[in-house]
A and B are shown apart, each in its own frame.
Chain A
Amino acid sequence: EAGVAQSPRYKIIEKRQSVAFWCNPISGHATLYWYQQILGQGPKLLIQFQNNGVVDDSQLPKDRFSAERLKGVDSTLKIQPAKLEDSAVYLCASSPFTGGLHTGELFFGEGSRLTVL
């Protein structure tokens, strides 16, 4: 079974520029997550989709971050304009969870490392 695919793996931009990250979840997984992991910290949830609807985006800085999930499958996360503090690894995860007694395991991609200069 193919895992969660993310691209690009690495991106270096200057502040005020824009960047986009792409995620392809495991086939059939209804739920997709974007996490931000700043160096030395745990992953922080930015946005969670179930199918193509948003179920939680309470910690997404909506003035600069946006995300969409096309047809309930692939997703893109965009940052415009980027700030220095956006330097982090952006992790995409998917889960077959749709409620009920499921273990809720998340399957993570390898992440996209962003450096903002």
Chain B
Amino acid sequence: GEDVEQSLFLSVREGDSSVINCTYTDSSSTYLYWYKQEPGAGLQLLTYIFSNMDMKQDQRLTVLLNKKDKHLSLRIADTQTGDSAIYFCAGASGGYNKLIFGAGTRLAVHP
């Protein structure tokens, strides 16, 4: 089954770029996802990438996918204090869209 790993913590200065990394094991995932969780809230989809793509850009967000190394990254340009949250990488396992989440990367943005 799918296993997803992420670094646990990232601290950046406001205005800098943030890069959050993720590795996964199941190469059959059709889509790979980035979810955001703010304190006391559920998870919200930030962006996703189809497995036959290498890159997807969506405003300040850039997702890079390296299928050979099974590595996914999320870049946030011009990071703002409102971006402080926990970011989860997820892959789908099996035919029934069973999403497996990493442990999450806590992003702290400081002035």
Contacts and interface: CB of A to CB of B under 8 A. Distances in A.
Contacts of B96: 31, 48, 50, 55-56, 99
A6 B40 CA distance: 13
Interface stretch (B43-51, B64-72, B74-82): B43-51
B31 A42 contact: no
Contact of A45 (B42, B88, B100): B100
Q: Is the interface of B mostly helix, strand, loop or mixed?
A: strand
Interface residues of A, number: 30
B97 interface: yes
A95 interface: yes
A4 interface: yes
B101 A43 contact: yes
Interface in A59-87: none
Given A97-B97, A99-B95, A104-B92, A110 B40 contact: yes
A43 B43 contact: yes
Given A104-B30, A108-B42, A110-B41, A45 B48 contact: no
A48 B42 contact: no
A102 to B, nearest CB: 8
B98 A105 contact: no
Contacts of B41: 110-111
A91 B30 contact: no
B99 A42 contact: no
A86 B30 CA distance: 32
Nearest to B8: A40
A106 interface: yes
Given A41-B103, A55-B96, A104 B31 contact: yes
Contacts of A93: 42-43
5 contacts: A4-B42, A31-B96, A42-B4, A56-B98, A111-B42
* Top 3 A-B residue pairs of the complex, sorted by shortest distance between their CB atoms: A108-B42, A42-B101, A104-B97
